[in-house]
């Protein structure tokens, strides 16, 4: 839809999040693989992450939406659509969105899962916004939820220190004041990077077998060094593009809200955008990389801490497996 023809924008009117209680700190990883707290902190910025001991991704998502409903007074039967961004669905099918819909009793909602790895939330937010902009839907819940511990090999030091479990959710509603809400997005995929960050088995390309289990092909595989290079460039590129398209300079932006995969990637993106550290949302130290959950987790924590105000210009940016890239420019409308 062209921006000129829109009669409503989608605005975020509520936020919520949920993280499991169990904490794995860097010291714990020193006891299970050949690593050190110092290496993990300096290479990634991560100090600890949360792990879900019992339950699945739908439980993470359900709890985040319950938190959203507590925060906003939203009733389950008012929800018209639930989009769950995840790469760790409870099942291939039914969709996690169906399980979440039933858990919260959203009897008037439809829903679906969206698979875009670490860009999942950004893609889903744009999808949700499109439903609102179409004029047909008034209350859409977008949730990013991942139980990364379900697909993490805790004997592989290259990946196990990076990931955690969490979920974050937002409510989207229309606003006729087009100065607020989602203004623009730049979304991309590049499947030529598919082999560099992948769960190799379990899908139709390589169905589960004794061999796939023995060869540990149901876990995350990542060529960290190669992905790092593409991530630094990719996230900075989409962020710079959305700034240019909207005539934004670093000084205009209240916050960069980056996917939390590595503090060095976040710093490189901020530098390219001309944004100082104090204007970058960061919580990677507490949760690690929670894939589709990182951005709504940041939004919820900063909003709850009173750090976001009406009229703030935000750029959300992500990079993930696929490869997937995305940035969204939005103007915050909540007091």
Binding residues for ligand COA, rule: CB under 6 A, are 35, 39-40, 43-44, 118, 157-158, 161, 197, 224-225, 227-228, 231, 261-262, 265, 289, 319-320
**Smaller CB distance to ligand COA: residue 157 or 200?**
157
| Of residues 39 and 154, the one with the C-beta less far from ligand COA | 39
Query: Shortest distance, CB of residue 289 to ligand COA, whole angstroms?
Result: 6
SS3 per-residue string spanning 184-228: EEEEEECHHHHHHEEECCCCCCCCCCHHHHHCCCCCEEECHHHHH
Buried b (16+ CB within 10 A) or exposed e, 91-103: eeeebbbbbbbeb
The CB-of-40 to ligand COA minimum distance in angstroms stands at 6
User: CB under 8 Å to 247, separation ≥6 — which residues?
Assistant: none
Min dist. Cβ of residue 200 to ligand COA (A): 16
Nearer to ligand COA, 78 or 156 (CB): 156
Instruction: Considering the complex, state which of residue 157 and residue 245 has its C-beta at the smaller distance from ligand COA.
Output: 157
Sheet order of strands, 81-85 included: 9-18, 165-175, 140-147, 81-85, 110-114
Least distance (Å) from ligand COA to the CB of residue 42? 9
Closest CA to 117 of 266, 323, 315: 323
- What minimum distance in Å lies between the beta carbon of 88 and ligand COA? 13
Length of the chain equals 335
DSSP calls for 246-271: TT--GGG-SEEEE--S-HHHHHHHHH
DSSP letter at 46 equals -
What residues act catalytically?
118, 259, 289
Quick check: 154 and 47 in contact, CB under 8 A? no
By beta-carbon proximity to ligand COA, the closer residue of 24 and 99 is 24
The least distance separating ligand COA from the CB of residue 15, rounded to whole angstroms, comes to 22
Q: Given the DSSP bridges, would you call strands 110-114 and 81-85 parallel, antiparallel or unpaired?
A: parallel
Nearer to ligand COA, 74 or 227 (CB): 227
Question: Of 290, 276, 281, whose CA–CA distance to 332 is shortest?
Answer: 281
């Amino acid at each position: 839809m062209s921006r000129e023809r829109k009669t409503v924008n989608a605005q975020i009117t509520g936020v919520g999040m949920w993280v499991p209680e169990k904490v794995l700190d860097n010291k714990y990883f020193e006891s299970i693989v050949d690593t050190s707290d110092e290496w993990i902190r300096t290479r990634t910025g991560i100090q600890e992450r949360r792990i879900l001991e019992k339950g699945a991704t739908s439980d993470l998502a359900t709890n985040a939406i319950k938190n959203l409903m507590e925060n906003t007074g939203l009733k389950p039967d008012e929800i018209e659509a639930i989009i769950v961004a995840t790469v760790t669905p409870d099942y291939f099918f039914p969709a996690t969105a169906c399980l979440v819909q039933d858990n919260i009793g959203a009897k008037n909602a439809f829903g679906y899962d969206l698979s875009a790895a670490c860009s999942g939330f950004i893609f889903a937010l744009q999808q949700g916004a499109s439903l609102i902009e179409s004029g047909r839907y008034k209350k859409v819940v977008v949730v990013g939820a991942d139980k990364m511990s379900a697909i993490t090999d805790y004997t592989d030091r290259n990946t196990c220190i990076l990931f955690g479990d969490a979920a974050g959710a937002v409510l989207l509603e229309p606003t006729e004041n087009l100065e607020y809400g989602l203004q623009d997005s730049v979304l991309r995929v590049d499947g030529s990077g598919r082999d560099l960050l992948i769960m190799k088995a379990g899908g139709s390309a390589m169905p589960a077998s004794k061999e796939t289990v023995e060869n540990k092909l149901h876990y995350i595989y990542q060529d960290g060094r190669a992905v790092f290079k593409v991530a630094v460039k990719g996230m900075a590129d989409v962020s710079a593009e959305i700034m240019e398209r909207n005539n934004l300079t670093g000084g205009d932006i209240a916050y960069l809200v980056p996917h939390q995969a590595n503090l060095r990637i976040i710093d490189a993106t901020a530098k390219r955008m001309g944004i100082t550290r104090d204007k970058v949302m960061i919580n990677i130290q507490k949760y690690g990389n929670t894939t589709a959950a990182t951005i709504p987790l940041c939004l919820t924590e900063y909003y709850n801490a009173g750090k976001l105000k009406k009229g703030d210009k935000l750029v959300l940016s992500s990079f993930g497996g696929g490869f997937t890239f995305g940035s969204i420019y939005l103007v915050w409308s909540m007091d």
